[in-house]
Amino acid sequence: MDPPSFSSFAPSFSSFPDFEQGSSKHVPPSHSSQHLEDNADAKRKRRSSKKDKDKKHKKTKSKADKAYDEKSRDDTRRGDAVLFDDDRESRPYAFDDRESRPVFYTDRKGDPLNVRFGGLYAKEVPKYQLVAWGKKILGLDGSWSVVHRGGGGLEVGMGGRRKIPSITDSSSRALLNAPPTRRLIPSFADASRYQESDGFIKLPSAKDHHGDQSYRSIERSKDDADSDYDSSMTSGSDLSAEDENEGLTLTSFQEKTRSLEQRLAADPSSISNWLSLLSHSLSQIPITSRSSTKTRADITLSIVSRALTSLPEDVPAHKLRLIYLQAGEEIWEASKLQVEWEKALKEGNADVKMAWLDWRTRMGGRTVDSVLDDALRILQLSTSELERLRIFWRAAVILRQAGHIERAMAMFQIQAELIFNVPSSSLRSSFEEQLGALEEYWESEAPRIGESGGSGWASWVAAGKPEHSFAGAVHPPQENVSNIADPYTSWACQEAQSDGTLKPPSRSTEPIADEDPFSTVLFSDVRHFLSAFSSVRARSAFRLVWLSFLGLHVPGLETLLSSSESTDDRWCEIHLSSGPYLASIYPPAPERRRITGSSYAGVIIGQSEEYSSGFGPVKTWGYRAVGPMDVFGEANWSMWTREDVQGVNVEFVRRVFERCRLGTSGDDTEWDVLNLSFEAVLNVKGALKVSRSLLANARESIVHWSAHARLERLRGRLDEARKIYRTVTSTPSSSDNKLSLGPLWYDWADMEWLAGQPDAAIQVIFRAAGLDGTTGLGIATLRAKRILDDTARTIPGTLWKVQESWLRLAALLELLTSSSSAECPLFLCAPIIKQGSIADESAAVSSLTMLYHHVLTLRGTAKPTVLRERLERALNVYPNNTAILGMFLEAQKGQGVWGRVRELLEVGTEDSGEQPKNVARRVADVWVAGWEKGRWDWEIERTRGGLAAAVESERTRGSPILWRLYIELEIRAGQLERAKDLLFRALGQCPFVKELYLLAFDALRSVFTGRELNALADSMAERGVRMRKGLDDVVGDWTEDKEEEESSGEEDEIEAEARERQRLRPY
């Protein structure tokens, strides 16, 4: 109950009401105030002695002691209290009978301090108990209860438990995204609050203030007030002085911004500083937040416009110009954007031209032919051969994505004839004359490159230009889809099967030419895209581009055609969206992981974690950073695996390898090694036969012999590989090619090392250094190290692969002969620093591979943490290298630290100043989410967020590969409505990708109506997307009535089952 208030009358004890006398439990008022004080002192003594006894013996009181103490306190209290018990006065009071306890007590004497403070002291309030332990509130429904009591009040909720905010709640996300509001600032005060004495700080004790209740006084003495005033004045002056010394307190974000602004003020021509300022400013706006695209575009325009006006005219700013135009695309009107692009095209940069073509491709209301006209425009403006090849590749991909497969294949076939099969009579002719002669060959419909019996243009001219009667190409059989009831789905499956097989153009005499006129390609259809490639680099790059178009993508090829950081991977890596790749990227039908355990001898044993191989289906790295025949892991993971050759026309590719050679003297080693790598994926025994045929024409080629030995190692015949190594290194010509023998020497030593024969590996290294190793192991080791280091230093930087082999030999010798397990060769522990060259990335991969074999494969003495830390640093430097990613995942197996792997799946690294993730790495992140078996269901939301950020990222925006992957995720997750929304967004950015349209007719058929599908088919026809058969011819008079009847039948079955379940309740 509340204490009485005495504010309205003078404080005197006569104001207390008199109570009725004569009660049996009434205590006569014969006790004086002195007696009360004695009772209080006795109570304090009993409490003090009890505390000492409990502290000494550390025992709890017994029930009898508790009862005695309570009875004593009650007796003491009754000395000054009057009991009110109304109708129960005649009953004797029993202490243990809780029902007979008094309802309340009244204090006859009162406390004068209550008058001063207007209420009871908090520590003197009698103990009481709330109704239902304070969880219920009178007048509130019983389902609601108090779940929390705090200084801010009560928190009421249902269920009786307080809801703890999780990391996924909106309040938690807002708190995480909020900038810091407080900061720890060091104090500059000279004196401490607490005085130190002999190394200790004396704490205040309650014994010093025993019996002193001055702390409860409301009035303050004059001395205290003066001291407080003086201290406040002093503290105020100190704070003002501190503010003057420190200035304005800035957050870490503001401090970094100020630092970047100061650096730009000192050097406004630094493009790297401008990019750092831009990424730092965008880091405060998550890419997946609402309206983030326009907000980030506004910030980008404001910063990049300052940069473009501050840069001198002689400083190239193509990268900033592209960022400026890409941001303006989200804000500017179409007319202003057109003017800005035309202004940028005048600079003549290749990256700007490709970006302009991508922008024209994304524009709505256009057709495929208009986009090809734009490609021809920038092709005529290009002067570099690699630049023209780059545009040629882009035009072929546009045709392929729009369904014009035969026309794209014809472009490569005719261009290959111009490069590799020009007749001797036309070598000195002009380019236009060569095109006229080539047109005659093409219109004769003779077998062409890649086709059966195709010997080429030069052989046709040498044979007297004979006439050929084409019997018809043999195409692989296709799956029968005629049994599909829905005509929309049947039509989509037929279109997808026809487009999935890369077929060359048909002849005019074939029956298919009458049904599908687009299957026959005339020379005039591709004439304007042809170019003259005279340099060896451009011709070699053309062959690699053709292989990539056929499905055998060469990692890093897009960087070979561009001098700067290329973004061509957004459209060139179309193999990643093929059916076999999607099946390998996403796990099969996921089974929910059951967290169970088994028992052994009464001990609960949890299930062991199961992982797939850390080396996944995605391969991406710098060009030549990883060799075609370099293998990783137990499954011999390499540049091309089984997933890469699925869906590839094997016979066509073999003929391309055969006809597109640069010379016949064995100098075309890189092309031959790629050929052997392709054959090894199909069959190692067949690859050895091809290798023997190549060695028959190149017996002195060390590269060919090294590749042949690698094939023997893949087959498991190490003795045959040793014979090859011994024979090649002991020939007289090997002394003349000592430097070029470095890769062969290391392959031999590496084979012995991985085979568990370190002594044999040391002897091989000694032979490579020109030592016999019989004079003493210690002396020979020192001499061999010096010779190997000197040899590596004498090799020029252009031969960085050869130099790397000699460095690896020296590192392997030091690793095998080191007496301490803590010591690590310099090549294996050197800091991983990105310097912008492929040689640095290749050296990082080589050193990490050696350390990976030493720690994990051979279970060496080195600590696994050394490998994991180096792999983690390497991923920060080279995030787009999946070879490093595979070794990192293998090193993380069994560690139980999923957070380190989860960091790889973050939204992005564009705003952190590091190298952004490319398209292949984004696809690899999706695969990593299902790397641990049974965890895919837990990582779907994280994967969805990563793909949502990828399709909006400035680096990977507009990629049909990522859109296809994102839609496939929602389809596999069963979110068809969400996949439908994504499909419309994807078609807005990729309007000429036929594969995306077909998803609405097949996988998303259940959420599309016939009217919507007909509208999509009309859009395909308006935009020039090829349809081999008209949709109207397939659908005919079919309506969706049958589908509605089938769906209603299914609903009736569902309702009947529901009623049966209702009847069987609760069983």
Which positions ≥6 away from 1054 have C-beta within 8 Å?
none
Which candidate, 136, 87, 81, 114, places its Cα nearest to that of 7? 114
The per-residue pLDDT for 192 is: 57
Burial of 893 (0-12, 13-18, 19+ CB in 10 A): middle
DSSP assignments along 911-933, one per residue: GGTSPPP-HHHHHHHHHHHTSBT
**Residue 557 pLDDT:** 92
CB-based contacts of 477-483 (< 8 A; 24+ apart in sequence): none
- pLDDT on residue 93: 40
In whole angstroms, what separates CA 509 from the centre of its chain? 52
HEC profile of 77-102: HHCCEEECCHHHCCCCCCCCCHHHCC
* Local structure of 72: helix, strand or coil: helix
The H or E element spanning position 326 is: helix 318-328
Rounded to the nearest 10°, the torsion over CA 931, 933, 938, 939 is: 10
Give the pLDDT confidence score for residue 594 in this predicted structure.
Answer: 58
Question: What's the pLDDT at 467?
Answer: 83
What is the Cα Rg of the chain in Å? 42
Looking at residue 174, what is its pLDDT? Answer: 75
**Low pLDDT (below 50) residues in the chain:** 1, 3-16, 18-36, 56, 58-98, 222, 224-225, 227-229, 231-246, 907-909, 911-912, 1042-1050, 1067
The pLDDT tens digits of the residues spanning 7-40 come to 444 444 444 454 444 444 444 444 444 444 555 5
Tell me the H-state helices in 478-578.
487-500, 512-515, 536-550, 557-560, 569-572
Instruction: Report how far apart, in Å, the C-alpha atoms of 376 and of each of 305, 373, 568 are.
Output: 31, 5, 18
* Token pair belonging to 440: 């005659």
Of 747, 779, 781, 787, residue with least CA distance to 763:
781
Q: So what's the pLDDT on residue 124?
A: 66
Cis before residue 1066, ω within 30 degrees of 0? Answer: yes
Q: pLDDT for 573-616, tens place per residue? A: 999 999 889 999 998 875 555 555 666 676 777 667 788 899 99
Side chain identity, residue 568: D
Looking at residue 30, what is its pLDDT?
45
- Closest residue by Cα to residue 503 from 441, 573, 451, 444: 451
Contacts for 265 with CB less than 8 Å, ≥ 6 apart: none
DSSP for 962-1016, written as a single string = HHHHHHHHHHHTT-HHHHHHHHHHHHHH-TT-HHHHHHHHTTTGGG--HHHHHHH
